[in-house]
Amino acid sequence: MSGERIPPKGRGAGYNPPNRFDPLHSEIELETVQDDAEYLEGLRRPETEFLDDRSRSIIAENQSPDVGFDASVNPYRGCEHGCIYCYARPTHEYLGMSAGLDFETKIMVKRDAPALLRAALESPKWRPRVLAMSGVTDPYQPIERKLRLTRGCLEVMAEYRQAVTIVTKNRLVVRDMEVLADLARDRAAGVFLSITTLNPAMAADLEPRTSRPAGRLAAIRALSEAGVPTGVLVAPVIPGLTDHEMPAILEAAAKAGARFAGYVAVRLPMAVAPLFTDWLERHHPDAKDKVLDRIRSMHGGKLYDSRFGERMRGEGPIADVIARLFKTTCRRLDLNVTPWPVSAGAFRRPTKPDEQLRLFD
């Protein structure tokens, strides 16, 4: 919409920016609908739509050297968590939608994900390696409670002893603790809980439909007590807004049982930059210039630099301070003392009944 906007309640994005691939973009003048109470309420409280994704494969390959995995499973495209800083928002533009509200209200659902995963693991072309869940959007976003697609994929992985590392902001991961603990006995599962801030009010604004920080810490405790290798990902680190919380987040996670940690600097590719700027104007106007200036100082004067090796950490004095703070705090808390233990060594394809009978021939 042009000019005045009505920021929706319970969502991260305040509007739908134009799709960079679409030369046409429609806008609504609020003056023309000011007497339509039902329409205005729809703008304030947009409902989530769940659309079928007919993908014929489920394992995505990754060529980036600084992500930490080369294959991932994404049961969903788009994410109702609504984290305003989410680097995956521009992926919705490939679907003809917007990186803004569309990304968090129009969720593509891969209902065949478990069956597609089974077919991939059965294929002789599959080279055993650790899978990431998920490489783009959160596998435990709210609709997973009902659809259980991530759960279905984990059950398939348990049959094949397929190794998986999960990153999530939702304590719903604890629901699948017994499957993860079973895989962990073969060093085939581990979980990172991503925590941006310990301030529940800040979290409610930054990432409106995620579990609150206390819930994520509780998930770390439950998983680690169940024998699942568990870590904390301080992500994203937002200079001038959340960076000062890094030691406290790491300490709280370590007390809850985390033994591994990582961090990622905030990334604002393409449409994410104006969406994040708009969010700052609405929620932290006094800090907006400071935050944006510090982000630019980490990326050579730009809000984002896509170069491998730089985009995840940044460079310059502020980036160096964050890196040293992370390293010294991890050393003090005995985090990352041993390497991440998840490996693909236990993979095997289940023996079919007819194959068992042939053993007697």
Give the distance from CA 41 to its chain's centroid.
29
Distance CA 217, CA 171 (A): 8
Q: What is the DSSP string of 304-347?
A: ----TTTTTT--SHHHHHHHHHHHHHHHHHTTTSS-----STT-
Contact between 163 and 347 under an 8 Å Cβ cutoff? The reply is yes
Per-residue pLDDT at 141: 97
| pLDDT tens digits, one per residue of 124-151 | 999 999 999 987 899 999 999 999 999 9
Cis preceding-peptide flag for 134 (omega within 30 of 0): yes
pLDDT at position 39 is 54
> Class for domain 30-339, per CATH?
alpha beta
Task: pLDDT band for 2, please (50, 70, 90 cuts).
Answer: very low
Residue 4 scores a pLDDT above 80: no
| pLDDT tens, position by position, 42-57 | 667 889 999 999 999 9
Residue 1: what pLDDT?
Answer: 37
Looking at per-residue pLDDT, the higher value among 14 and 356 belongs to 14
Higher pLDDT, 81 or 312: 81
* The residue to which tokens 């259980």 are assigned: 148
Residue ranges of E strands in 136-243: 164-168, 189-195, 230-237
pLDDT score, position 21: 86
Q: What is the pLDDT of residue 190?
A: 98
Q: Where are the domains of the chain?
A: 30-339
Mean pLDDT, to the nearest integer, of 210-218? 98
* Complete DSSP assignment for 194-221: EES-S-HHHHHHHSTTSPPHHHHHHHHH
**CB proximity list for 150: less than 8 A, separation 6 or greater:** 75, 133, 139, 140, 144, 176
- The predicted pLDDT at position 267 comes to 93
Of the pLDDT bands very low, low, confident and very high (cuts 50, 70, 90), residue 3 is: very low
**Adjacent-strand bridge partners of 263:** 234
What is the average per-residue pLDDT within 267-291? 96
Instruction: State the pTM of this model.
Output: 0.91
Residue 40 binned pLDDT confidence (cut-offs 50, 70, 90): low
Structure tokens at 272: 């994410």
Query: Rounded CA gap, 116 and 216, in Å?
Result: 30
Q: How many Å apart are CA 170 and CA 220, to the nearest integer?
A: 11
Q: What is the pLDDT of residue 345?
A: 96
- Residues near 10 by Cβ (< 8 Å), separated by ≥ 6? 45, 82, 208, 209
Q: In Å, how far from its chain's centre is CA 118?
A: 23
Peptide bond into 236 cis (omega under 30): yes
d(CA 172, CA 188): 20
Average pLDDT in the 91-112 region?
Answer: 96
State how beta strands 164-168 and 59-61 pair. Answer: unpaired
Edge-to-edge strand ranges of the sheet holding 106-109? 49-52, 106-109, 76-77
The half-sphere exposure of 163 on its side-chain side, counting CA atoms within 13 A, is 21
Q: How many residues does the chain have?
A: 361
